[in-house]
Amino acid sequence: MASHLGNFDRLQELIDITLELNTRYHERQKEKGCHQEKNPSIGGSNSSKPPQSSSSKKPYHMKNKKGNNFQVSKDKPHASLLNKENKLIGSEKERRIKEGLCNYCGGKHPFEKCLK
């Protein structure tokens, strides 16, 4: 995990730290969700509403779409797409280039126009 949150020399450093923090945030949210389901009295809400499925809470780009030719692990959704240095693996980078997708977020725009 990132040991410092200060000035960054390169945009890529900021992106890498942001991805680490985002991944940890979602892991923690998932841990909290599992803990609260086992102990419903913790959390303060005694509502009669059933718990929402976690699949509806996935970000749009994480939902399963037809045509995706890669598998995503449940624990670390991007783990299968990244190498040890947290960079896109060659096959995923090639797929995104071939399909005209952003190398950062996978959106339908070039990397240079990415808003994330």
Task: Say how far apart CA 34 and CA 28 lie, in whole Å.
Answer: 10
Q: Ranked by mean pLDDT, which of 4-8, 24-28, 85-89 comes out on top?
A: 24-28
pLDDT digits (tens, 9 = 90+) for 64-106: 444 444 444 455 566 677 888 878 888 888 888 888 888 888 8
Task: Say how far apart CA 43 and CA 35 lie, in whole Å.
Answer: 10
Confidence band, pLDDT 50/70/90 cuts, at residue 42: low
Res 68: pLDDT:
45
Summary mean pLDDT of the chain: 70
